[in-house]
């Protein structure tokens, strides 16, 4: 708890938890600790209590199949013995975001097949291993989950439209892939705006990935994505990894 004598500008000031979990001095609200072997473990004081949230949020995720194995470690930045500076910076920026997602947005845009979804999965896998409720979902999957909720017309938190929207708005970290792939409709623009505006106002950690240039978005959304006080925007114009010769990967 913040004591009245602690001013927020003091270097020792305690920052209240942004993820809504318990205030924990043991891990400084990171929800994880690093063990003697350097592995991330849920914080023994508060991280375990957060596990239900991690699971609840992950229910909707697009984090299946190959994505489960995509990590920072198997993201290559050296090809043919030459370091690719752009991919190297991209990897470092994604790692920094995963280390401290609170109050940060990371926006990646660019050509096909150059590792954007791989980095989304790597960030999600890192955070989930650390006990942080991170949701990795593609925009088409998110919209499908909402459409399904409209059809189901149930009231449970996990199945109702409002409950699902609430999860997307308040997930401690949201990693939204393939923005713009759904094609624009007034409904999908409205959904995206409601989610991103909520996350913007509450400074919730958000990673956004798209093939489209940011000008292609609703100006209200594009403007929030480019707020330099919060957001790092990186264009990834590296070559398509899928087309690299197998022996040069």
Task: Evaluate whether 230 touches 105 at the Cβ level (below 8 Å).
Answer: yes
Contact of residue 26 among Zn ion, Mg ion, ligand ATP, none (CB under 5-8 Å per partner type):
Zn ion
Task: Evaluate whether 135 touches 127 at the Cβ level (below 8 Å).
Answer: no
User: Looking at beta carbons only, is 23 or 111 nearer to Mg ion?
Assistant: 111
Contact of residue 113 among Mg ion, Zn ion, ligand ATP, none (CB under 5-8 Å per partner type):
ligand ATP
Query: How far apart are alpha carbons 50 and 134 in whole angstroms?
Result: 11
Task: Give residue for tokens 């609430």.
Answer: 166
In the set 31, 63, 104, 116, which binds ligand ATP (CB under 6 A)?
116
Minimum distance from residue 187 beta carbon to ligand ATP (Å):
23
User: Looking at beta carbons only, is 27 or 107 nearer to Zn ion?
Assistant: 27
Query: How far apart are alpha carbons 234 and 108 in whole angstroms?
Result: 5
The answer to whether 117 contacts Mg ion (rule: CB under 5 A) is yes
Residue nearest to ligand ATP (CB): 115
Q: Would you give the DSSP letter of residue 2?
A: -
Task: Evaluate whether 83 touches 71 at the Cβ level (below 8 Å).
Answer: no
Minimum distance from residue 25 beta carbon to Mg ion (Å):
39
Identify the H or E element spanning 87.
Answer: helix 85-99
In the set 17, 19, 21, 24, which binds Zn ion (CB under 5 A)?
24
List strand residue ranges (DSSP E) for the chain, in order. 32-34, 40-42, 78-79, 82-83, 105-110, 134-138, 173-179, 205-210, 231-236
The answer to whether 62 contacts ligand ATP (rule: CB under 6 A) is no
The answer to whether 70 contacts ligand ATP (rule: CB under 6 A) is yes
Q: For binding to Zn ion (CB under 5 A), which residues are involved?
A: 24, 26-27, 43, 45-46
Q: For binding to ligand ATP (CB under 6 A), which residues are involved?
A: 66, 70, 74-76, 87, 112-118, 211, 241-242
């Amino acid at each position: 708890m913040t004591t009245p004598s602690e001013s927020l500008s003091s270097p020792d000031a305690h920052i209240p938890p942004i993820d809504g979990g318990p205030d924990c001095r043991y891990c400084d609200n990171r929800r994880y600790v690093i063990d003697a072997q350097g592995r991330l473990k849920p914080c023994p004081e508060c991280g375990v209590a957060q596990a239900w949230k991690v699971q609840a949020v992950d229910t909707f995720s697009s984090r299946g199949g190959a994505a489960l194995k995509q990590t920072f470690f198997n993201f290559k930045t050296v090809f043919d013995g030459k370091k690719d500076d752009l991919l190297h910076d991209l990897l470092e920026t994604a790692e920094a975001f995963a280390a401290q997602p609170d109050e940060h947005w990371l926006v990646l845009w660019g050509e096909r097949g150059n590792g954007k979804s791989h980095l989304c999965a790597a960030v999600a896998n890192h955070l989930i291993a650390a006990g942080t409720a991170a949701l990795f979902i593609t925009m088409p999957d998110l919209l499908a989950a909402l459409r399904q909720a409209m059809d189901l017309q149930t009231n449970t938190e996990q199945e109702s439209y409002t409950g699902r929207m609430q999860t997307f708005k308040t997930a401690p970290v949201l990693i939204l892939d393939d923005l713009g792939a759904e094609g624009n409709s007034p409904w999908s623009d409205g959904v995206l705006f409601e989610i991103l505006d909520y996350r913007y106002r509450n400074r919730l950690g958000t990673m956004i990935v798209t093939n489209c240039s940011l000008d292609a978005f609703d100006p209200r959304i594009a403007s929030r994505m480019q707020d330099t006080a919060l957001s790092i925007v990186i264009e990834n114009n590296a070559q398509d990894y899928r087309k690299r010769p197998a022996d040069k990967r």
